[in-house]
Amino acid sequence: MEGSKCPKRLLNGPCGGGSKGICEVTGRECYWVKKYLEDPKAKEFYEVVLDGEFRIRDYIPRSRPPTTPLMKSASNRSKLLIYEFCTPMPLMCNTVRQDLHELRKVYNYISLVDRPFGKYHPSSTVLATLAKSMGFDVLLHMSCKHRDRYSIISDIMSLAIADVRNILTLTGDWPIQGKPVFDLDSTRLVYLVRLLSDLGIDHRGNRIMDPIVLHVGVAFNQYFDPIELEVLRLSKKIRAGAEFIVTQPVFDDEIANNTINYLSKFKKPMIVTIAMFRNQEQIRTFEKYLKIEMPKKYIDVVLSPSRERKTYHIESLAEVILTSHKVCGVCISTLGNHKLGIEVGIRILKKCR
């Protein structure tokens, strides 16, 4: 299996974690970038590659009308405002419900992370059920890093019962804690979700649930180098059945505009992420995994003690992004600083009205 040469056993191109030709796991040359530079027309970069466990290999996912509030708004370009919920560690169990309650006063849509960087984090499936009960329409992150396909299928069945029907599929970071799994990559995960959603069958053709529309999205790493390879990878995920795109965080107008231009040709609902890191350590971790150097002006804002300066930065950037007719919304990530998230959300909503 070709992908066995990749530490994550990926079959459909590189993960989003490495860049500039360097593997995030080994620190050496990325197998997929090397292969692309040697043979940019290799079929692995253009065709959806499935492993031997997939007995259903010829299904072609079709476009579907939107069924969830999030997807209906995205399809209408209604300028979504989404909040990415991340619980600070150590976990304070008694505050989670209250945090969600306060956020619900501002946000209709919430994005739930799935063990970021492979560290401890409450189950996104449980949080999704709680958030749904509080009135949010949920966008749930589902990564391949720590679950095999059978655990993933069980989680998807649970989500269907809870009426959580927006899924962002991710390959995932190499875990800092625990053992990596990577039974699937994001492209195969998209295809699997569409089999479950459209046909009610698993990868082996077993009927396991009634068909129910599960809208499936994918991430785009605008910092990947070479960017042409990331664009090819996105094309494959769309061919596998992806219906919307969520970007990695942007930090200034230039990055935002370049990202929007890259993605506009796909004609899929596009959600641009804006993040406000809390400290230098978070910046270093992000730069390590995405192999980027953040703009100095942005770092100055992050390290500033002024909450007003942080709020203004996110608000101004969101305003620029939302004026683009090519974008359906923004996702605000404050990495657990929910008070800042609430303040920013209120100001953005006032500007949008």
Q: Which domains does the chain have, with CATH numbers?
A: 2-54+68-352 (3.20.20.220)
Alpha-carbon distance of 146 to 127, in angstroms, equals 18
Q: How confident is the model at residue 325 (pLDDT cuts 50, 70, 90)?
A: confident
pLDDT of residue 119: 79
Residue-wise pLDDT for 228-243, tens only, equals 999 999 999 999 999 9
pLDDT of residue 32: 94
Q: How many residues does the chain have?
A: 353
Question: What would the mean pLDDT of 289-304 be, rounded to a whole number?
Answer: 86
Q: How confident is the model at residue 4 (pLDDT cuts 50, 70, 90)?
A: low
Alpha-carbon distance of 96 to 350, in angstroms, equals 26
Alpha-carbon distance of 179 to 189, in angstroms, equals 20
In the predicted structure, residue 245 carries a pLDDT above the cut 60: yes
Structure token digits, residue 89:
């560690």
Backbone angles phi, psi at 29, to 5 degrees: -60, 130
Residue-wise pLDDT for 259-275, tens only, equals 999 899 999 999 999 99
pLDDT of residue 78: 82
pLDDT of residue 91: 87
Count CB-CB contacts under 10 A for residue 65.
Answer: 8
pLDDT of residue 279: 87
State the Cα angle at 21 between 331 and 18, rounded to 5°. 35
How many percent of the chain have pLDDT more than 90?
77
Alpha-carbon distance of 169 to 186, in angstroms, equals 6
In the predicted structure, residue 118 carries a pLDDT above the cut 80: no
In the predicted structure, residue 353 carries a pLDDT above the cut 70: no
Q: Which of 1-15, 136-150, 235-249 has the lowest mean pLDDT?
A: 1-15
DSSP symbol at 45: G
pLDDT of residue 149: 97
Backbone angles phi, psi at 208, to 5 degrees: -125, -10
Question: What would the mean pLDDT of 18-44 be, rounded to a whole number?
Answer: 89
The β-bridge partners of 201 are 207
**Intra-chain end-to-end CA distance of the chain, in Å:** 53
Q: How confident is the model at residue 1 (pLDDT cuts 50, 70, 90)?
A: very low
In the predicted structure, residue 319 carries a pLDDT above the cut 50: yes
pLDDT of residue 285: 79
Q: How many CA atoms lie within 13 A of 299 on its CB side?
A: 12
Alpha-carbon distance of 313 to 344, in angstroms, equals 9
Q: 292 versus 331: which is more confidently predicted?
A: 331
Q: How confident is the model at residue 3 (pLDDT cuts 50, 70, 90)?
A: low
pLDDT of residue 179: 87
pLDDT of residue 192: 98
Structure token digits, residue 204:
């082996």
Give CA torsion, residues 282, 284, 288, 293, to 10 deg.
Answer: 110
Alpha-carbon distance of 111 to 139, in angstroms, equals 5
Contact yes or no for 233/42 (Cβ under 8 A): no
Q: How confident is the model at residue 351 (pLDDT cuts 50, 70, 90)?
A: confident
| 3-state class (DSSP) for residue 220 | strand
DSSP symbol at 27: S
- When the pLDDT of each residue in the chain is averaged and rounded to a whole number, the result is 92
